[in-house]
Amino acid sequence: MFNFRKGWFGFAFLLALFVTVAGAQIPASAQSRLKDVQGHWAQPCIEQLSQKRVINGYPDGSFKPDAPVNRAEFAAMVDTVYHNAAAVRTGSEFVDVPANHWAASAIRSAYKTGFLSGYPGQIFKPAENIPRVQALVALASGLKYAPARSASDTLQAAFSDAAAIPDYAKTAIASATEKQLVVNYPDVKKLNPNQLASRADVASFLCQALGISGGVPSQYIAQAGRPIPATPAGGSSSNRNGEIRGVWLTNIDSEVLFSRANLSKAVQRLAELNFNTIYPVVWNWGYTLYPSKVAEKATGSSMRLVTPLEASLDPSWEVEKRDMLKEVIELGHQKKLTVMPWFEFGFMAPADSELAKRHPDWLTSRRDGSKTWKEGIHQRVWLNPFHPEVQKFIIDLVAEIVTNYDVDGIQLDDHFGLPNEFGYDAYTVEMYKKEIGQDPSTDPKETFWVRWRADKINDFMGQVFQAVKARKPNCIVSVSPNPLHYALPAHLQDWFTWERKGFVEEIVVQVYRNELDRFIAELDREEIQLANTHVPVGIGILTGLKGRAIPLEQIQAQVKAVRERGLAGVSFFFYESLSSWAKEKPAQREAAFKRLFRTPVQRPTMVGSGKPAA
């Protein structure tokens, strides 16, 4: 309805600054003697605005702080200060604003400069009083504020009556709240959006917009703060009714997946330590770790448990005898563990893999045509996430598991993205040119080029989510990314948008930091706090690598920091390092993990259902 434009810093009040009732201008000396604001909650603000001649009172010396404001008066306020603003549109004749209307000129000017809009049928409704929500929308829109965080989370955090805010106003009210423009008297948590705005209300909004110190008592200024988790009818937030206690099971530097006996022993141990979630790897090194018809068609091999790093082991070892995934699901469920297969490699594959050799057209490249990417000492290539055949392959892998196995969820990794230097293959460049009309930037970090590719991956993530839900509605879609400030610009993985759009239902952010202050700084990032109000957000904690011991003290401090911030839990990377390669004895490590998880708990659930409101 409203489309108020830039310029509220000089916002004037009720025929303000030379615009007065009945055409009588109030002398400046009278502005500090408003007789009906003494003791009013907005008195400091009103008097300061009056002294600055930003607002005026009435000829009888009153201000009438609790009286409403109508649209004609509002237009006069805007025009008084911004009568020299550039016009942004033509036309301004409204059938209900005759030429001799006292505010006709102001309404016409406010419309042309974009501050105000009319209603269908060229109607302006000059005498209609403005609700608080519309006044705030005007202020936020006029100042061109945009929220830095999710509107729904900000509103939920700030207002007990957020549900009453009209959909059209949510973004503007959220941005106004972030800028501390919203003033609520007497209850700072109650916006009363549809209540008529009083003259005192609008004065207080203006004081905040002008940055007038001491004008509004601080206890009435709404604060965005940290979001308040949604509270279901049953009482406490459903994001606090459990804890993720997870661990990744890998086939690198670990033999846990190499036999049913090893799996059985590991699952028994984890259950005794009160873990509740396991993430067994099912896709890495260009192979699946379960019998897969999809992989066999693409690579010639239906399954491979051991990686090429295990040179002493036969690549076909155990292939004919076992279905590792079926075993881990059966064993895990017997111990009431949640089992979520982990697609570790995502779009990445070894450069010498059969997948890469058989499908060179599936690979993307840098601008110079090179395709290999070094991960440590290993040469990798990247499947093109924008290519329809690649997308079908990935969706088919996911769908195969969701359809054929009794999984509780699936988890994607930080490799479900693309290093930003890639995307210059002929297929992607042609797609970009067709959509945008020009070649992509030669700078792989250029903002629009990064955003375009990230958005394409976002769209594909939506397809993956729909594919899962079409086959198994209760199957959880999880992602384990890097922190967003690295994941998005460096790897085009915009997992926060996935969460905002409702494409993921659990996030386990990999925060592999040794220094506690750096670790905590990652936990305190806004996107993690915001996401945690809608889906369970856990933290991936490194428990050690072969040749890199992580002391118990560090692990314990990090778990404590996660809990103190109300996050949903932790997952440890990885199973073998819970006790191996450490300076402490295995028995000491075992006892320490037992103390971390003293009693069994359930996993947390979604705070809501569906995607958060925009």
| 232 confidence band (pLDDT: 50, 70, 90) | very low
User: Is the Cα dihedral 435, 373, 525, 241 positive or negative?
Assistant: positive
For residue 370, the 8-state DSSP code is: -
| 612 confidence band (pLDDT: 50, 70, 90) | very low
What is the share, in percent, of the chain residues with pLDDT greater than 70?
A: 87
- Of 20-29, 223-232, 472-481, 557-566, the least confident: 20-29
Q: What is the pLDDT of residues 491-514, one digit of tens each?
A: 999 999 999 889 999 999 999 999
- Supply 135's token pair: 């006044």
pLDDT computed for residue 74 by the predictor? 77
Q: Is the pLDDT of residue 14 over 70?
A: no
What is the share, in percent, of the chain residues with pLDDT greater than 90?
A: 64
Residue with tokens 């991956």: 457
- Supply 511's token pair: 């925060």
Q: Is the pLDDT of residue 22 over 50?
A: no
The winner for highest mean pLDDT among 222-226, 530-534, 571-575 is 571-575
pLDDT computed for residue 11 by the predictor? 32
- On the question of a cis peptide bond just before residue 166, with omega within 30 degrees of 0, the verdict is no
Cα 272 to Cα 280: distance, rounded to the nearest angstrom: 18
Q: Is the pLDDT of residue 31 over 80?
A: no
Q: Is the pLDDT of residue 19 over 50?
A: no
Amino acid at 442: T
Q: Is the pLDDT of residue 24 over 50?
A: no
Q: What is the pLDDT of residues 383-413, one digit of tens each?
A: 999 999 999 999 999 999 999 999 999 999 9
pLDDT computed for residue 80 by the predictor? 66
User: What count of residues does the chain have?
Assistant: 614
Q: Is the pLDDT of residue 243 over 90?
A: yes
The winner for highest mean pLDDT among 115-129, 302-316, 524-538 is 524-538
422 alpha-carbon distance from chain centroid = 25
203 alpha-carbon distance from chain centroid = 34
| 33 confidence band (pLDDT: 50, 70, 90) | low
Cα Dmax for the chain = 97
| 60 confidence band (pLDDT: 50, 70, 90) | confident
Cα 17 to Cα 576: distance, rounded to the nearest angstrom: 74
Residue 405: which of 282, 316, 302, 303 has the closest Cα? 282
| 590 confidence band (pLDDT: 50, 70, 90) | very high
- Supply 430's token pair: 């042609």
Cα 239 to Cα 605: distance, rounded to the nearest angstrom: 6
For residue 363, the 8-state DSSP code is: B
Does residue 452 or residue 124 have the better pLDDT? 452
User: Is the Cα dihedral 493, 498, 499, 503 positive or negative?
Assistant: negative
pLDDT computed for residue 121 by the predictor? 84
Q: What is the pLDDT of residues 267-287, one digit of tens each?
A: 999 999 999 999 999 999 999
Average pLDDT value over all residues in the chain: 86
- Which SS3 state, helix, strand or coil, does residue 449 take? helix
Q: What is the pLDDT of residues 145-193, one digit of tens each?
A: 788 788 888 999 899 999 999 988 999 899 899 888 999 999 999 999 9
Q: What is the pLDDT of residues 93-144, one digit of tens each?
A: 899 999 999 989 988 887 887 777 788 888 989 899 988 998 888 777 767 7
- Residue 495's CB is within 10 A of a number of other CB atoms, namely 28
Residue 507: which of 461, 444, 455 has the closest Cα? 461
**How would you write 17-31 as a 3-class SS string?**
CCCCHHHCCCCHHHC
